[in-house]
Amino acid sequence: MTQRFLLILLLLGIFRISSAQIGSIDIDDQSQNRALLETKIYQLPDFEKIDFAETQLIEENFQIPAFHIYNELWDTVHIRSTSIVIPFYQNSLKIRLLENNNNPFAFPCSGSMILDYGLLKKEFHSGIDFLETDGSPIVSCFDGVVRLARYYRDYGKVVVIRHYNGLETVYAHLKEINVVPGQIVKAGDLIGNAGNTGNAIDPTLHFEIRLFNELINPNKVIDFVNRKLMENLIELTLTDFNITPLIASDSIQLNPVKVYEPLPEKSKEAPQFHIVKSGDTLNKIARLYNTTTDALIKLNNLKGDGSNLQLDQKIRIK
């Protein structure tokens, strides 16, 4: 009896490993449409851990990558909620991935590839999946700005980054998110940790590349075997895109183009910081710099009573 029980456990273990390698479709090309119907936006406790004093955020529209060629669309709620005409020239589109002033490309994860992009089991898998260890670091592929960071149905906790080359990269099933919308990131910067949120069983990174709000084949951009860019200059045609019709719904409301209010002129000065010393309180620091405790709390994500102030902590004053 005991041997039979052990045999069953062994077979179940083999099945689980093989199913992880073969993989089922976690996110298909209709996942984005199903998510559009969901109006609830989850408040993520992850953001409470972010040190906003060290976070660089955009302040003006011109800082948004490829802002004009995306028809000034900057949606922080949905991955894809409108269609954009792809500006082909003579049936192709050429994109330079890195310029001289960019940081080098960084591969997003350390896990092994388990599921490719494309038509699988009569469903269209919208990205490439990697089997990860729980909590392993996930990094940005290129320099860019975070457009979306939230829980998003099948995707689970997901980050979308728009890059200066016009591409957008999507990182799904995260355990924790370490960035906020509007945050400026560099290639290789930590954006989250691998997990199994959303439609995933094992810790997995579901990775997508999009352009003009449409899915493109990541294999056209990245050599996933050698973990490097295919070429610095890539050429795309219509066949490299998977253009999925959007659902027809009058209930979907986009965020306004300007998703943040410009900071006051005085806030555009170089930031000023204070190192917390023994005996410092919020009131004392506020008086010292002619500011208010409310302003310090907002800038540094502090508690109202200042109980999370720590000795030698660097807090932002302006």
Regarding whether 282 and 133 lie in a shared domain, the answer is no
pLDDT score at 257:
39
Please give the residue range of the domain that contains residue 216.
Answer: 31-242
The pLDDT value recorded for residue 52 is 80
164 with 211, same domain? yes
Residue 78 included in any domain: yes
- HSE-CB of 224 using CA atoms within 13 angstroms: 19
Q: What is the pLDDT along the chain (318 residues), one digit of tens a residue?
A: 555 544 444 444 433 433 343 457 999 999 999 998 887 777 889 988 888 888 899 988 889 999 999 999 999 999 998 999 999 999 999 999 999 888 999 999 999 999 999 998 889 999 999 999 999 999 999 999 999 999 999 999 999 999 999 999 999 999 999 999 999 999 999 999 999 999 999 999 999 999 999 999 999 999 999 999 999 999 999 999 999 999 865 445 544 433 443 434 434 455 677 888 888 887 888 878 778 887 877 777 676 666 677 777 777 887
Tell me: do 81 and 189 sit in the same domain. Answer: yes
Same domain, 120 and 198: yes
Looking at the fold, whether 154 and 292 belong to one and the same domain comes out as: no
The domain boundary residue, chosen from 242, 277, 308: 242
**237 and 276 inside one domain:** no
231 and 269: one domain? no
What pLDDT score does 146 carry? 97
> Which residue matches tokens 């000023």?
272
| Model pLDDT, residue 303 | 67
What is the identity of the amino acid at 98? Answer: L
CA distance 141 to 163: 9
Q: What is the CATH number of the domain that holds 277?
A: 3.10.350.10
149: nearest Cα among 247, 249, 42: 42
- Mark whether 228 and 293 lie in a shared domain: no
Residue 14 belongs to a domain: no
- Torsion (CA) 219, 224, 226, 232 in degrees, nearest 10: 40
Beta bridge partners of 115: 129
**Any domain includes 4:** no
Is residue 24 included in any domain, yes or no?
no
Q: Are residues 214 and 104 in the same domain?
A: yes
Residue 256 within a domain? no
**131 lies in the same domain as 270:** no
CB 193 within 8 A of CB 152: no
Phi, psi (deg, nearest 5) at residue 287: -65, -40
Amino acid at 38: E
Position 248 scores a pLDDT of 60
- DSSP percent split of the chain into helix, strand, coil, nearest 5: 20, 25, 50
CATH of the domain at 149: 2.70.70.10
How many structural domains does the chain have? 2
pLDDT of residue 220: 97
User: Which residue type sits at 151?
Assistant: Y
Q: Is residue 25 assigned to a domain?
A: no
Q: Given 186, 211, 242, which residue is the final one in a domain? A: 242
207 lies in the same domain as 278: no
Q: Are the C-beta atoms of 244 and 30 separated by less than 8 Å?
A: yes
Classify residue 207: in a domain, yes or no.
yes
How many C-beta neighbours within 10 Å does residue 14 have?
A: 10
Asked if residue 26 belongs to a domain, the reply is no
Q: Are residues 189 and 52 in the same domain?
A: yes
Structural tokens at position 87: 């500006």
Alpha-carbon Rg for the chain in angstroms: 22
Closest CA to 138 of 130, 150, 127: 130
User: Which pLDDT value is given to residue 197?
Assistant: 97
Domain boundary among 181, 208, 242: 242
**Contact of 158 with 11, CB cutoff 8 Å:** no
